[in-house]
């Protein structure tokens, strides 16, 4: 009988190799976010921490459509908001939110926020997601709520409050704003956002008919352990990576 073969995250021999890997995954995530419709004008950003300069992060240039982002377009920003590599400008909201999250959570490698339709719709209720399905249990006791919307996020102080609401969770619902996810890789971070958006859609659809049955705490905790780990987040992104690599390989340029 043959043994099961499990996919494993890649390991790296050099900082340069790891940096290139992170940038490739970041560019791929933007292409996928575009495919899923997570692009609303100039809103939205995904960041990944640089493996060498850990107080710097790579991010999308301001005003460039997600569907057009390639590795060469990404910009490197330091903790002061200065673009140290790349030619385009930085979305000020990306600095205010992501810089504070990266400061508060040294374990966080990547962070994603976009104005997706169902995420921003669900956020208007000021509620956490309920464990109404096996998939929803990915976020059981692992997402927070930031319920203090005061307009566009341009100041580091508000970014700090968002980071506090995130706490040690992998996601936070920004009331009247949208979703934000984090992870120890771009892969898991992007997957958490993609699936959380669909879970918002699922609960909205369910509640439009009647109040759904909630999974009991014990079963939800078990399902969370089985489906909500960092590895599971990374693993679920791999088919999406294979798809975008085959269909839009130019993002590697």
The answer to whether position 252 is within a domain reads: no
Position 4 scores a pLDDT of 56
Residue 10 lies in a domain: no
pLDDT-wise least confident of 85-89, 91-95, 96-100, 205-209? 91-95
Determine contact, residues 118/195, Cβ cutoff 8 Å.
no
Is residue 74 in a domain? yes
Residue 247 within any structural domain of the chain: no
**Cα separation of 66 and 45, whole Å?**
9
Q: Is 243 among the domain residues?
A: no
Residue 45 phi/psi, 5-degree rounding, is -165, 145
pTM of the model: 0.94
Task: Please give the angle made by the CA atoms of 113, 117 and 122, to the nearest 5 degrees.
Answer: 85
pLDDT, tens digit, 9 for 90 and up, residues 117-175: 999 999 999 999 999 999 999 999 999 999 987 665 556 788 899 999 999 999 999 99
- Work out the mean pLDDT of the chain and round it to a whole number: 93
The residue with tokens 């490698």 is 109
| CATH number of the domain where residue 97 is located | 3.40.225.10
Determine, yes or no, domain membership for 6. no
pLDDT exceeds cutoff 90 at 195: yes
Q: What angle do CA 22, 247, 45 make, to 5 degrees?
A: 40
- Lowest average pLDDT, out of 6-15, 67-76, 90-99, 165-174, goes to 90-99
Domain count, the chain: 1
The residue range of the domain holding 52 is 15-238
Dist CA 119 CA 200 (whole Å): 6
Comparing C-alpha atoms, which of 146, 26, 149 is closest to residue 77? Answer: 26
Under 8 Å between Cβ of 9 and 234 = yes
């Amino acid at each position: 009988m043959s043994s099961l073969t499990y996919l494993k995250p890649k390991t790296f021999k050099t900082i340069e190799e790891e940096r290139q890997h992170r940038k490739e995954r970041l560019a791929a995530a933007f292409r996928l976010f575009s495919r899923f419709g997570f692009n609303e004008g100039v809103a939205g950003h995904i960041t990944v921490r640089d493996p060498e300069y850990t107080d710097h992060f790579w991010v999308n240039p301001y005003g460039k459509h997600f569907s057009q982002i390639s590795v060469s377009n990404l910009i490197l920003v330091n903790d002061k908001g200065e673009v140290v590599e790349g030619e385009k400008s930085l979305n000020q909201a990306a600095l205010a939110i992501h810089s504070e999250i990266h400061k508060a959570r040294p374990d966080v490698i990547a962070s994603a926020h976009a104005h997706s339709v169902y995420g921003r719709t669900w956020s208007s209720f000021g509620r956490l997601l309920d464990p109404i399905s096996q998939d929803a249990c990915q976020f059981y006791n692992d997402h927070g709520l930031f319920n203090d919307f005061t307009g566009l996020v341009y100041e580091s102080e508000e970014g700090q409050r968002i980071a506090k609401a995130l706490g040690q969770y992998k996601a936070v619902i920004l009331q009247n704003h949208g979703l934000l996810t984090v992870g120890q890789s771009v892969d898991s971070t992007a997957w958490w956002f993609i699936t959380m958006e669909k879970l918002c859609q699922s609960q909205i659809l369910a509640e439009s008919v009647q109040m759904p049955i909630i999974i009991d705490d014990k079963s939800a905790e078990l399902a969370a352990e089985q489906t909500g780990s960092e590895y599971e987040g990374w693993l679920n992104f791999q088919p999406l990576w294979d798809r975008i690599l085959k269909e839009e390989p130019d993002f590697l340029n």
